[in-house]
Amino acid sequence: MSARWTKQFDVLGLGCTAVDDLLYVPCFPAADEKMRVEGTTRRFGGLTGAALVAASRLGARCAYAGCLGTDELSSYVAGYLGQEGVDISRAPRVPQGRVVHSIVVVGMDTGSRNVFFEGSGMIGAHDTEPGDEVLRACRVLFIDQWGMAGNLRAARVARLAGTAVVADFEDAGSPLFREVLDVVDHLVLGEKFAREITGQRDAAGAARALWRADRKAVIVTCGARGCWSLSAERGRAAVHHPALAVKATDTTGCGDVFHGAYAASLAQGVTLEGRIRFAAAAAALKARKGEIPRLAEVQKLLRVRLGSVGAWRTEKRRGISEHRPPDLSGSKRKPSTTL
């Protein structure tokens, strides 16, 4: 095979990036009350952006090729991605490009949060960029609901090239939503949205309703209650996967971390069970620490949790052959600068 078509990236993301300004309060006040803010911080975020940073920290070679502007927030995003080892050389910089800006209020008593966001201008996937050769040069394409015309084009090119398409959707307002949804072969959605678009009463029912014969996996995440999956490996049987129990301090971005960890391990050929276990551990650490974890931290948590006799026997009873966390430590290589 020509070097032109070698897989240059493990995960290529096209969706939204964001700047989150977090305000920490002791607890959420009632309406019309005042409360002192205990602390503030600025963080990088976005459905695709945070997933890419998580995947990069977990050992994957990542690139962002969605729109960026020339404004201060876009410059912050570009700088942050570069510091995290995410290639941005394919991201179109256009005057009308923007990133999502969010105010996130975090209740310190429970770790829960409310997000208030604004998004205007050209956000997420560009209609015609990156070129097909870039889309064919990745193992996993990651998309969300921002820039749906570009997402549809890119997902079709990726599927024809045999590239896995992982999606994180939170809004079905685009006229192209159903077309894009049908092209995704690894669909990972939060329970609330999955139930909304399927009309199902529970996560398992939503996962079954979202299954298609040409998908590889459907996963509906339920936070501390774990997740439900359907896969080509197991037919139409909905399988529950428990979450790793931790004391949460900040749940902001836990779903994004789950997605990024899933994409990173998918790019390495890990089984579905292993991908979900790895992603759940990464999300649990994010909830406990408030920061996106590194690979060594996730591997350590999995060794501790799966190293007990009880966990080992449970895995044996379920017939799972892959007990160990995926080893991505040797997979990250500096992306080449040419295709």
**3-class secondary structure per residue, 119-154:** CCCECCCCCCCCCHHHHCCEEEEEECCCCHHHHHHH
- What distance in Å separates the CA atoms of residue 61 and residue 57, rounded to the nearest whole number? 9
- Of 199, 335, 207, 333, the closest CA to residue 276 belongs to 207
What is the percent of the chain with per-residue pLDDT over 90, rounded to a whole number?
Answer: 76
Residue 118's CB is within 10 A of a number of other CB atoms, namely 9
User: For 41-97, how does the pLDDT look when each residue is reduced to its tens digit (9 = 90+)?
Assistant: 998 989 999 999 999 999 999 999 999 999 999 999 999 999 999 999 999 999 999
H or E element that contains 103: strand 100-107
Beta bridge partners of 328: none
pTM of the model: 0.84
- What distance in Å separates the CA atoms of residue 59 and residue 289, rounded to the nearest whole number? 19
Residue 79's CB is within 10 A of a number of other CB atoms, namely 12
Average pLDDT in the 210-229 region? 95
CA neighbours within 13 Å on the CB side: how many for 240?
A: 12
* The pLDDT of residue 307: 63
For residue 3, pLDDT over 70 is answered with no
* The pLDDT of residue 326: 55
Cis peptide before 130 (omega within 30 of 0): yes
* The pLDDT of residue 112: 85
- What distance in Å separates the CA atoms of residue 259 and residue 168, rounded to the nearest whole number? 7
For residue 13, pLDDT over 50 is answered with yes
- What distance in Å separates the CA atoms of residue 287 and residue 257, rounded to the nearest whole number? 10
Dihedrals phi, psi of 21, to nearest 5 degrees? -100, 110
pLDDT-based confidence at 247, cuts 50/70/90? confident
User: For 178-213, how does the pLDDT look when each residue is reduced to its tens digit (9 = 90+)?
Assistant: 999 999 999 999 999 999 999 999 999 999 999 999
What is the percent of the chain with per-residue pLDDT over 70, rounded to a whole number?
Answer: 88
Which has the higher per-residue pLDDT, 282 or 338?
282
* The pLDDT of residue 160: 97
Which has the higher per-residue pLDDT, 136 or 324?
136
Structural contact between residues 176 and 149, judged by C-beta atoms closer than 8 angstroms: yes
- What distance in Å separates the CA atoms of residue 84 and residue 53, rounded to the nearest whole number? 6
* The pLDDT of residue 176: 98
For residue 322, pLDDT over 70 is answered with no
User: For 17-29, how does the pLDDT look when each residue is reduced to its tens digit (9 = 90+)?
Assistant: 999 899 999 999 8
What are the Cα distances from residue 21, in Å, to 44, 153, 339? 9, 32, 37
For residue 177, pLDDT over 80 is answered with yes
- What distance in Å separates the CA atoms of residue 69 and residue 101, rounded to the nearest whole number? 13
Average pLDDT in the 159-178 region? 97
Which structure tokens are listed for 174? Answer: 């685009």
Give the chain's mean pLDDT: 88
**Please, what's the b/e burial string for 41-53 (b: 16 or more CB within 10 A of its CB; e: otherwise)?**
eebbbbbbbbbbb
* The pLDDT of residue 324: 44
pLDDT-based confidence at 6, cuts 50/70/90? low
For residue 319, pLDDT over 60 is answered with no
Average pLDDT in the 260-284 region? 96
Which structure tokens are listed for 183? Answer: 């092209």
Average pLDDT in the 267-288 region? 95
- What distance in Å separates the CA atoms of residue 283 and residue 290, rounded to the nearest whole number? 10
18-32, 50-64, 276-290, 301-315: which range is least confident on average?
Answer: 301-315
For residue 225, pLDDT over 80 is answered with yes
For residue 303, pLDDT over 50 is answered with yes
